[in-house]
Amino acid sequence: MAVETRDRIIEAADLLFYQHGFEATSFADIAASVGISRGNFYHHFKTKDDILDGVINRRLANTEQMLDRWEIAGSDPAERVRSFIHILIVNGEKIRKFGCPVGTLSSELAKLNHAAKSDATALFTLFRSWLCRQFERLGFGDRSDELAMHILGRSQGVATLANAFDDDRFLHHEVDLMCTWLDDQIAELSTENHSVRE
Partner DNA sequence: CCAGAACTAGGACAATTGTCCCAATTCAGA
Partner DNA sequence: TCTGAATTGGGACAATTGTCCTAGTTCTGG
- Which residues of the shown chain bind DNA in the complex (CB under 7 A)? 1-3, 5, 25-29, 36-44, 46-49
Shortest distance, CB of residue 112 to a copy of itself, whole angstroms? 6
Q: Is 41 helix (H, G, I), strand (E, B) or coil?
A: helix
Nearer to DNA, 26 or 118 (CB): 26
Shortest distance, CB of residue 78 to a copy of itself, whole angstroms? 20
132 Cβ contact partners less than 8 Å away, ≥ 6 residues apart: 144, 145, 147, 148
N residues, the chain: 198
Question: Does 160 contact a copy of itself by CB under 8 A?
Answer: yes
How far is CA 149 from its chain centroid? Answer: 13
List the interface residues with a copy of itself, window 30-89 (CB under 8 A): none
CA-to-CA separations, 39 to 1, 15, 51, 193, in angstroms, rounded: 17, 21, 14, 64
Question: Does 106 contact a copy of itself by CB under 8 A?
Answer: yes
- Select from 27-35, 51-59, 82-90, 165-173 the region that touches a copy of itself (CB under 8 A): 165-173
Question: Does 124 contact a copy of itself by CB under 8 A?
Answer: yes
What gap in Å lies between CA 88 and CA 6, rounded to an integer?
A: 30
Nearer to a copy of itself, 73 or 115 (CB): 115
Radius of gyration (C-alpha) of the chain in whole angstroms: 19
Question: Does 121 contact a copy of itself by CB under 8 A?
Answer: yes
User: Considering CB distances under 5 to 8 angstroms, the limit depending on partner class, which of DNA, a copy of itself, none binds residue 84?
Assistant: none
91 Cβ contact partners less than 8 Å away, ≥ 6 residues apart: none
Shortest distance, CB of residue 154 to a copy of itself, whole angstroms? 5
